[in-house]
C-alpha cells in the first residue's frame, strides 16, 4: 500500500462512510422470498429552511407482495431513513426521562388519507394499539436533550454531529411528506400507508445520564429514543419526531425488532373490520 493510499484509507476510516456501506449490506442481507429492499445511498432531499439540496446517508424501503381486496389494493411501504455517524474521540450523552410515546404523533407515518388531511382515517387509532402490543414500543424513556463530549478531556463539543443528524432526518421526512403530497393524484389507484422511521446508527460510545439524589450518574447504552420537534417554513405548527439512535453493535438486533413492528402494523391493516371501514372512507373520498 502506498503512502497516498494509506492516507486516503485512514481519512475514510475516521468518517461514517464505511459504516454506511456496512449498514446497507446488513439491510440487504435481510431479503426473503416475499420481500425485497430498495437501498438508496446519499438520498436527496430539499432543505426548505435554506433552499439547498442535501442528502441523507441511506434510505431503505422494504417492498412486499401486494394484498388485493376487490376494488382496492392495500400496500404498506416502510422506509428507514439512516444517518450513520462515527466519533472516535467523543461520546454521545443522552438525558432521558419518562415520556409518552403515542405512535400516531411520532412523525413516522403518512398514508393516503393523512396526506389529504382527512380526519376520519381510523388508522391513527389502530396504530396507537402498537404502543401496548409491541415489545419495542414499551420503551417509555426518551431523551429530551443530549450532548457530545470529548473523551480525552472534560469538554462539550459545540458542533454536535448528533444534532446535525437529527435535523437532517426531520427535514428529510418533511420533504418526503411534501413530495408525496405533490404526487397524490398518481396514487389514487392504490391505498398506501407510507411508514417512515428516522434512525441514527452510531459507531461510538453512548451513555444515558440520570440525576439521583442530586448526583449525575452515567450508564452505557446501545439504544436511545430522542424526542425532538421541527417546524418547516411551510408548516403551520411544529411536529414531534421520535428518532431511534442505535449503536453499531446493536443494529442487527434493532433491525429484527423493527421488522416485527412492521409486521404488527401490516396485521392491523389487514384486519377485516378496519379494511371495510377504510374501503368505505376511500369510496367516499373518490366520489367527492
What does each of the 288 residues of the chain score in pLDDT, given as a tens digit? 787 766 666 666 666 678 888 999 999 887 666 678 889 999 999 998 888 999 999 999 988 755 554 444 567 788 899 999 988 889 999 998 876 655 444 445 555 545 444 434 444 554 444 444 444 444 567 888 999 999 988 899 888 899 999 999 999 988 887 777 666 555 455 567 778 889 999 999 999 998 888 888 999 999 998 988 888 777 777 777 889 999 999 999 999 988 887 877 777 667 776 666 666 666 665 565
What pLDDT is attached to residue 191? 65
Q: What is the Cα–Cα distance from 55 to 34, expressed in whole angstroms?
A: 30
Say if strands 215-220 and 239-247 run parallel, antiparallel, or are unpaired: unpaired
Say if strands 52-64 and 35-47 run parallel, antiparallel, or are unpaired: antiparallel
What pLDDT is attached to residue 111? 52
What pLDDT is attached to residue 48? 86
How many C-beta neighbours within 10 Å does residue 276 have?
11
What pLDDT is attached to residue 131? 42
Beta strands in the chain (DSSP E): 35-47, 52-64, 67-69, 72-98, 109-111, 141-150, 191-212, 215-220, 223-230, 239-247
**Coil, strand or helix at 237:** coil
Question: What are 121's three cell numbers?
Answer: 382515517
Q: Among residues 37, 66, 34, 38, which one has the least CA distance to residue 190?
A: 66
Query: What distances in angstroms separate CA 161 from CA 87, 92, 185, 222, one per listed residue?
Result: 9, 9, 38, 17
Q: How is residue 177 annotated by DSSP?
A: H
How many C-beta neighbours within 10 Å does residue 283 have?
12
Q: What is the Cα–Cα distance from 128 to 126, expressed in whole angstroms?
A: 5
What pLDDT is attached to residue 250? 94
What pLDDT is attached to residue 162? 92
For the chain, what is the largest distance between any 2 Cα atoms, rounded to a whole number of angstroms? Answer: 69
135: CB partners within 8 A, 6+ apart: 257, 260
152: CB partners within 8 A, 6+ apart: 89
What pLDDT is attached to residue 239? 78
Please report which helix (H) or strand (E) contains residue 175, including its range: helix 161-182
Q: Is the pTM of this model over 0.95?
A: no
Amino acid at each position: 500500500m502506498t503512502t497516498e493510499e494509506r492516507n486516503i484509507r485512514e481519512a475514510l476510516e475516521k468518517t461514517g462512510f464505511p459504516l454506511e456501506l456496512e449498514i446497507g449490506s446488513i439491510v440487504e442481507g435481510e431479503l426473503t422470498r416475499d420481500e425485497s429492499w430498495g437501498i438508496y445511498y446519499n438520498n436527496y432531499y430539499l432543505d426548505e429552511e435554506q433552499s439547498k439540496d442535501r442528502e441523507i446517508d441511506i434510505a431503505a424501503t422494504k417492498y412486499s407482495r401486494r394484498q388485493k381486496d376487490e376494488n382496492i389494493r392495500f400496500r404498506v411501504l416502510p422506509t428507514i431513513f439512516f444517518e450513520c455517524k462515527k466519533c472516535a474521540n467523543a461520546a454521545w450523552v443522552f438525558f432521558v426521562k419518562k415520556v409518552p410515546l403515542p405512535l400516531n404523533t411520532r412523525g413516522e407515518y403518512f398514508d393516503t388519507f393523512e396526506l389529504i388531511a382527512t380526519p376520519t382515517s381510523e388508522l391513527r387509532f389502530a396504530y396507537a394499539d402498537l404502543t401496548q402490543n409491541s415489545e419495542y414500543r414499551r420503551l417509555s424513556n426518551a431523551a429530551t436533550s443530549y450532548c457530545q463530549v470529548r473523551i480525552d478531556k472534560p469538554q462539550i463539543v459545540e458542533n454536535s454531529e448528533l444534532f446535525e443528524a437529527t435535523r437532517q432526518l426531520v427535514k428529510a421526512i418533511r420533504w418526503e411528506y411534501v413530495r408525496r403530497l405533490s404526487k397524490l393524484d398518481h396514487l389514487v389507484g392504490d391505498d398506501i400507508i407510507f411508514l417512515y422511521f428516522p434512525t441514527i446508527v452510531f459507531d461510538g460510545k453512548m451513555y444515558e445520564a440520570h440525576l439521583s439524589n442530586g448526583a449525575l450518574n452515567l450508564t452505557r447504552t446501545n439504544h436511545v429514543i430522542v424526542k425532538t420537534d421541527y417546524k418547516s417554513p411551510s408548516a403551520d405548527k411544529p411536529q414531534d419526531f421520535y428518532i431511534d439512535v442505535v449503536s453499531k453493535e446493536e443494529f442487527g438486533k434493532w433491525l429484527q425488532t423493527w421488522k416485527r413492528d412492521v409486521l404488527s402494523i401490516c396485521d392491523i391493516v389487514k384486519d377485516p373490520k378496519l379494511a371495510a371501514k377504510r374501503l368505505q372512507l376511500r369510496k367516499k373520498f373518490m366520489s367527492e
